[in-house]
Amino acid sequence: MAMTGSKVNTADIFPCFSVKSLGFAGFCCQWLLGGMLLLFVLHTPAYGGAFLSGTEKKELYSHGTEFFHQATELSESDPAAAEDLYQKALLRFERLVEEGKVSNGKIFYNIGNIHFLLDDIGRAILNYRKAEQYIPNDLNLAKNLAYARSMRPDKFDTQNKEKILQTLFFFHYDLGTKTRLSLFGLAYISFWIFAGAKIFSRRPFISWGLGVTLLFAILFGTSLIVESRESIMKREGVILANEVIGRQGDAESYQPSFEAPLHAGTEFALLESRGEWWRIELPDGRGSWIPAKSGELVKKE
C-alpha cells in the first residue's frame, strides 16, 4: 500500500436559496444561475482554523511518512519493531487530523492503511470511508476498501430494493462525483447552445438536441443534489469493537437480536441515538441496538 501526499481540505458548504416564478424569462435565468451555482458549490471548500502551524504539520507528516517506510522495511525481518514504528506513524497522522484540523482524503487513506497493516479491520474501513468523502474517485482507495471489506467476518446480502435502484440508476452509483459533475456541465452548456440556436432556426435536430441535453442535465443535476443531501443527512458508521452483541432494545437486559455477535468492520446506518445506545440498520435491512462506544460514525456529528 503506497503512502500518499497531503493537502488541507475541509467539507463543502451548500448554501440555500429560494426561487420565485417569474415567467419563462425568469425561469431561464434562474435555471442558468442555478446550474452555475451548483457547479460552484460542489467545488467550493470551507476552511476551518488550525491549532498547529504549517511548519508543525509538515514535520508531523514528514516524520509519519518516514516511520511508515521504516516499518515497511522491517515488517518481515522484525515484526515487533515494525509494529512500533507503525504506531508512531499513526500517532503523527492522527495529530494532523485532531490538532491540525487536516480533513484530507490522503491523510485518512494513510491512517486506514496503517490500521489495516496492524490488523485493525474496523478502523481501516472507517478511515477508508472517511477518505472516500474527499477522494471518491481514487482507484487505489477503492481497491483497498474493497479488500478490507472482504476480510471482515460478517457478510451481508444487499436488499432487493437497493439492487433494483442500482440497476435503474446505474449512472448515479457507478459514475464518480467528478464524472457526473463534468457530464452535467457538458449537458448544461449544450442545452443553452441549442436554446440559442433555436432562436435562429426551427430545424428538428435542434429541438431534439434541446430535449436530450435538458434531460441529461436534469438527470445528472438531480444525482448530484441527491448525493449532496445524503452526505449531509445520512449517518453511517462502522463497528470498531472486536465483537458486540446486538440487542432488541437499548439495554443489556434485552435479548440478542441475532444468534451471533457483530464484528469489527461491519458497516451500518444510524437510525436513532438514545443515551449510550444506538439503533442501527445493517446492509441487509435488519435492525438492532448496540452500545454507542462500540462503533464510530464516518462523519462525526
- Is the predicted pLDDT of residue 133 greater than 50, yes or no? yes
Q: Based on the fold, state whether residues 4 and 150 are members of the same structural domain.
A: yes
Based on the structure, what is the number of domains in the chain? 3
pTM as predicted: 0.68
Query: What digits encode the pLDDT tens for the residues 76-97?
Result: 999 999 999 999 999 999 999 9
- The C-alpha cell that represents 258 in the structure block: 441475532
Q: Based on the fold, state whether residues 213 and 193 are members of the same structural domain.
A: yes
Q: Based on the fold, state whether residues 225 and 246 are members of the same structural domain.
A: no
- Choosing from 128, 155, 182, the residue where a domain stops is 155
Confidence tier at 136 by pLDDT (50, 70, 90) = confident
Full residue range of the structural domain in which residue 201 is found? 161-232
Name the CA dihedral angle for 46, 51, 53, 57, rounded to a multiple of 10 degrees: -80
Q: Based on the fold, state whether residues 182 and 110 are members of the same structural domain.
A: no
- Choosing from 107, 125, 155, the residue where a domain stops is 155
Contacts of 132 (CB under 8 A, 6+ apart): 105, 141, 145
Confidence tier at 207 by pLDDT (50, 70, 90) = confident
- Is the predicted pLDDT of residue 9 greater than 70, yes or no? no
Confidence tier at 301 by pLDDT (50, 70, 90) = low
Q: Based on the fold, state whether residues 132 and 145 are members of the same structural domain.
A: yes
Confidence tier at 42 by pLDDT (50, 70, 90) = very low
Average pLDDT over residues 183-199: 87
Q: Based on the fold, state whether residues 71 and 83 are members of the same structural domain.
A: yes
Q: Based on the fold, state whether residues 127 and 173 are members of the same structural domain.
A: no
Which pLDDT does position 159 carry in this prediction?
57
- Is the predicted pLDDT of residue 17 greater than 60, yes or no? no
* CA atoms of 280 and 130, how far apart (whole Å): 19
Which pLDDT does position 163 carry in this prediction?
59
- Is the predicted pLDDT of residue 101 greater than 80, yes or no? yes
Calculate the CA 273 to chain-centre distance.
Answer: 21
Name the CA dihedral angle for 103, 104, 108, 111, rounded to a multiple of 10 degrees: -90
Q: Based on the fold, state whether residues 150 and 193 are members of the same structural domain.
A: no
Q: Based on the fold, state whether residues 175 and 260 are members of the same structural domain.
A: no
Count H helices, E strands: the chain?
A: 10, 7
Average pLDDT over residues 173-194: 82
Which pLDDT does position 111 carry in this prediction?
97
Confidence tier at 206 by pLDDT (50, 70, 90) = confident
Average pLDDT over residues 38-65: 68
More confident residue, 163 or 259: 259
- Is the predicted pLDDT of residue 19 greater than 50, yes or no? no
Contacts of 76 (CB under 8 A, 6+ apart): none
Which pLDDT does position 45 carry in this prediction?
41
Calculate the CA 298 to chain-centre distance.
Answer: 8
Query: What digits encode the pLDDT tens for the residues 274-295?
Result: 999 999 999 888 999 999 999 9
Q: Based on the fold, state whether residues 13 and 131 are members of the same structural domain.
A: yes
Parallel/antiparallel/unpaired status of strands 262-263 and 267-274: unpaired
* CA atoms of 290 and 301, how far apart (whole Å): 18
Amino acid code (one letter) for 197: A
Q: What is the phi/psi pair of residue 276, to 5°?
A: -95, 15
Q: Based on the fold, state whether residues 178 and 284 are members of the same structural domain.
A: no
Reduce the DSSP state of residue 274 to 3 states and report it: strand
Of 24-38, 100-114, 122-136, 237-251, which gets the smallest average pLDDT?
24-38
Which pLDDT does position 224 carry in this prediction?
79
Q: Based on the fold, state whether residues 202 and 182 are members of the same structural domain.
A: yes
Confidence tier at 2 by pLDDT (50, 70, 90) = low
Which pLDDT does position 263 carry in this prediction?
97
- Choosing from 177, 197, 232, the residue where a domain stops is 232
More confident residue, 186 or 34: 186
b/e sequence 229-267, b meaning 16+ C-beta within 10 Å: eebeeebbbbbbbeebbbbeebeeeeeebeeebbbbbbb
Mean pLDDT score across all residues of the chain: 81
Confidence tier at 25 by pLDDT (50, 70, 90) = very low
- Is the predicted pLDDT of residue 160 greater than 90, yes or no? no
Reduce the DSSP state of residue 299 to 3 states and report it: coil
* CA atoms of 172 and 230, how far apart (whole Å): 13
Number of residues in the chain? 301
Q: What CATH number does the domain containing 256 carry?
A: 2.30.30.40
Contacts of 171 (CB under 8 A, 6+ apart): 180, 219, 220, 223
Which pLDDT does position 219 carry in this prediction?
86
* 265 within 8 A of 238, measured Cβ to Cβ: yes
- Is the predicted pLDDT of residue 74 greater than 50, yes or no? yes
